[in-house]
Structure 1
């Protein structure tokens, strides 16, 4: 750690759904120096970085010498991972190996984001040390990435998270907000929107996760680094059918929504991967915004002409 200097954080993947929330949270801490990276959607204040490029990753970490590295870059779409496992491995596994190796050499602490999809969803709630059993390529790639990081000898923490939602640039950024166009179309179109009522999810607000990440960084700053695997999750069980009904209420539209009680996704998904957050709660880490309040804040600018 850079004693006597500003605490420096590298946020890798700052332009994504979670990365933007972390950016906003850390902006309230001017005593920290935050270096942000993005691959495609950066701006003048971000460093362009392709995490699949080992030499570029090593050069970035060596040049900036951060005290902590938050890795929010990933391929998170299960269908994309299923159809392109090489891309999933490059982003979710190999890139973490590059980051971990470079971080170990300079003594940086690495916080990497993982997923509830490392579990098969048959025995919730899951503790961090429960046996993983991913059902799809996305879950397998994230589990492999966890293992690469944890076996690297770099000081590190894996933070597993469930379904994320928050302020979006387009509806498709989250599986929560991606339901919105179908809900709206069900009002004015010929057919009802069919929504999954089989899988139970625990939608988790990205600004809340950003608080968790900031609190973990604060722990590292004072030399009380949290390591190993940790879980954080919203605490409201909801199916996509439940989520769609809530969105329709917020939008105040008379949506026609039909519940689908059997799995219909081509990529297999677990039924209930509820993550137990006890370990972080015991450290007084965490924040939860009720879903109805959070989704109202996300949808408050609806409709967006560019999206619908």
Structure 2
């Protein structure tokens, strides 16, 4: 049993990490504004508070899942994005290295431009939007501080949301409820991945000897879908006719999105680590909690 600290433990992925990992490890979950006991309130921009936290709890592993993850928000607030996504990550990486704490940093498929999929862990990064750029900078800072740290790149995520708009996948259900004939992006190809599968993968990686870890890992389901295709899957689950939905063949968001950032999980495959699930059944189970 190890002691594992998790930043962003109040978020969609963070909650899944706590739920899965607490079965075998001692977990110290951290949040900020939404943190309530037993979670620890920690301002990641306060470097002294971060240092004190690491000294007090002395975790064996830290999974850094906290981030500003909405591309359109990142595009309009560079200062806050850099503070959380880059500066806080770099400081955590440095402090963990000094204390012998293994760090797992959660990154994104948006570090790629989407023009030459699938992308291996060694592929050249070329982010199109500021969110991806901030994660690219953070990856470089984390790995530069200690090559034994690990970067975990993930695609668009869904799972047991507290409210439908919490995920870019489940928000589609909210949009359908408001307008059964709504329009949806049919251009960008995504690979929706359940947060529990990310957590199960991290559980397997954490169990490995330290000498087998370090560098970049890709974690992704392999079911390619546009938002329009996701909407077509979700509509009948809500008792709606998917035939009425409108496919939009070009991107519509303010922040540029890559066309196809398929992540090739080469390293996990070699380790025999794979956790995936069929989207239709999985999204049905998620939405059943929000009827």
Give the TM-score band, short-chain normalised: over 0.9
What residue ranges of structure 1 are gaps of 5+ in the alignment? 1-5, 304-308
Q: Which residue number corresponds to residue 227 of structure 1?
A: 214
Match of 2:22 in 1: 27
C-alpha distance in 1 between matches for 2:175 and 2:46: 38
Partner residue of 1:138 out of 128, 131, 135: 131
Give the whole-Å Cα distance in 2 for the aligned partners of 1:217 and 1:140: 27
Contact 1:101 1:154 in 2 (8 A): no
Trace 1:280-291 onto structure 2 (pairs within 5 A).
Answer: 280-291=268-279
Matched, 1:121 2:114: yes
Q: Does 1:196 align with 2:180?
A: no
Q: Distance in 1 between matches of 2:95 and 2:237?
A: 46
The alignment status of 1:153 with 2:140, answered yes or no, reads no
Q: CA deviation at 1:196?
A: 0.2
* Paired residues for 1:146-295 under 5 Å: 146-153=139-146, 155-187=148-180, 192-219=181-208, 222-255=209-242, 256-295=244-283
* Correspondence list, 1:95-110, <5 A: 95-110=88-103
Q: Secondary structure at the residue paired with 2:74?
A: helix
Find the aligned partners of 2:289 and 2:28 in 1 and give their Cα distance. 30
Report if aligned partners of 1:209, 1:286 keep a CA contact under 8 Å in 2.
no
Alpha-carbon displacement from aligned partner over 1:241-278 (angstroms, at most 9, x marks no partner): 00011111222222531000011111100000000012
- Distance in 2 (CA, whole Å) between partners of 1:209 and 1:66 is 20
Structure 2: gaps spanning 5 or more residues = none
Question: Deviation of residue 224 (structure 1)?
Answer: 4.3
Aligned partners of 1:104 and 1:154 also within 8 Å:
no
Cα distance in 2 for partners of 1:89, 1:43 equals 26
Structure 1 residue 297, shift from structure 2 partner: 1.1
Per-residue CA deviation, residues 124-153 of structure 1 (Å, 9 max, x unaligned), is: 000011100000000000000001100012
2:32 matched to 1:45? no
- Give the whole-Å Cα distance in 2 for the aligned partners of 1:127 and 1:68: 25
Give me the whole-angstrom Cα distance separating, in 1, the residues matched to 2:71 and 2:133: 10
Give how far 1:43 is off: 2.0
Whole-angstrom distance in 1 between the partners of 2:240 and 2:133: 39
Deviation digits for residues 186-231 of structure 1 (CA, Å, limit 9, x no counterpart): 23xxxx2010000000000001111001111111xx4444110110
- SS at 1:44 equivalent: coil
The aligned residue for residue 306 of structure 1 is none
SS in 2 for 1:151: helix
